[in-house]
Structure 1
Amino acid sequence: MARTNSEKLPEKLPRCLADGNELLRFHGTIIACSLGMNDDYSNTLCTLDQCGLCQILRHGFCIIKQEFNDAVGVLTTSSSENAFDPIGSSDGRKCVIVCRVIAGRIYNPLQEIQEMINDDSGFDSLVKKIRAESDIEELFVLNPRAILPCFVAIYKL
């Protein structure tokens, strides 16, 4: 969908046309169940509403409802360390999901772009936080179906 929308634009974005602007990103969440705790490496997902990992693995990122600049989507980070920031100090074990993200056209409020952010803007992602050297630290992905969980790292903190 990102590639198709990019083809319709007067200004062609080569990265969007080639692969939809695919990025490797991190998403932090909590584990409220015993998944990954025992030596038997149980792969049974729980049905607990508060278990973010099992909910994401069962239903995808569609269950995540985060808001940023009047838009609803999913927050991803450029490093696993920063993925824990949105979680805060919550109960449960923490984990990071390594994800492939189709970022598509990225709206960067630090650039001079006149379009408003809404469903008709043509943007697929929003920059939430950027480093001084122009690397996107936090990316807010508007379409949760554009995020594919690939690996899970469970932390003992």
Structure 2
Amino acid sequence: MKIHNSPKILTRFEEYREVVKAKAARYGRRRDESGADLHIRHWDERCIADGNEHLRFHCATFLCDLGQNGNSSICSHQYCSVCGIIRVGFSTKMDGISTFSTSYKGHVALPEDIEEEFRFMHVKRAMLVCRVIAGRVGCDPEIGDKDDPGYDSLVGREPCATQTRLDDEDELIVFNPRAVLPCFVMAYTV
């Protein structure tokens, strides 16, 4: 199902992209001692152009009848993660939002037994396809974290090389919830 985001959520996403682009333009145009332009890295170029935007997957749970029999209404149940994300965006209380390059990787990131453990609540899975402003991507969990103003996101699980393409990485942890805009939701069963 296509998500029709509220103007408020869409505006927050667009404003965040402009902040990332402006920051990249400021830092990307550095000069050496002689005044010559220094080489701009690929990710910095992408940040200046579009905030280093990617389509990524995020797996979440839901409790309502979203997607069943043509139902496209979001609920207000406090434990229905998908509807909460669609309604108000990702929580600011999270340490980071995990996004993945494939739906399979997003699926396996959520514990296998989630449906069994919360069967009494009738929990189901959904895959969100999201536009993600990755910004400057950190590769070292010891350096590029949420409190480091030099990075907007972090490659998760395995360290990467600076030449690595983001699309080839398993997990991208995005620090700012305004950087993730859900566009489609796919309800599914395992």
TM-score over 0.5 (shorter chain):
yes
* Aligned with 1:104 (options 112, 116, 135): 135
Number of equivalences: 146
Q: Can you give the 5+ residue segments of structure 2 that lack an aligned partner in the other structure?
A: 1-18, 31-37
The runs of 5 or more residues in structure 1 that have no matched partner are: 66-71
Q: Distance in 1 between matches of 2:139 and 2:172?
A: 10
More strand, by proportion: 1
Query: In the alignment, what sits opposite 1:125?
Result: 153
1:137 has 2:155 as partner: no
Deviation (angstroms), 1:23: 0.6
1:137 and 1:35, CA in 2 relative to 1: closer, same or farther beyond 3 A? same
- C-alpha RMSD of the superposition: 2.4
Offset of 1:140 from its aligned partner? 0.1
Q: Supply the distance in 1 between the matched residues of 2:143 and 2:157 (Cα, whole angstroms).
A: 19
> Over alpha carbons, which structure has the higher Rg?
2
The answer as to whether partners of 1:45 and 1:54 remain within 8 angstroms in 2 is yes
Residue 140 of structure 2 contacts residue 160 of structure 2 at CA under 8 Å; is this kept in 1? no
Cα–Cα, structure 1 residues 154 and 109, in superposed 2: closer, same or farther, change >3 Å?
same
User: Equivalences for 1:30-109 in 2 at 5 Å?
Assistant: 30-38=61-69, 41-62=70-91, 65=94, 72-88=95-111, 89-90=113-114, 91=118, 92-109=123-140
Equivalent residue for 1:20?
A: 51
Separation of aligned partners in 2, 1:36 and 1:141: 27
2:25 alignment partner in structure 1: 7
Cα separation, partners in 2 of 1:118 and 1:46, compared to 1, 3 Å: closer
Instruction: Provide the identity percentage.
Output: 38
CA distance in 1, matches of 2:99, 2:158: 12
TM-score normalized by structure 2?
A: 0.69
- Aligned amino acid, residue 36 of structure 1: G
The separation in 2 between residues aligned to 1:2 and 1:132, in whole angstroms, is: 22
Q: Secondary structure at the match of 1:84?
A: helix
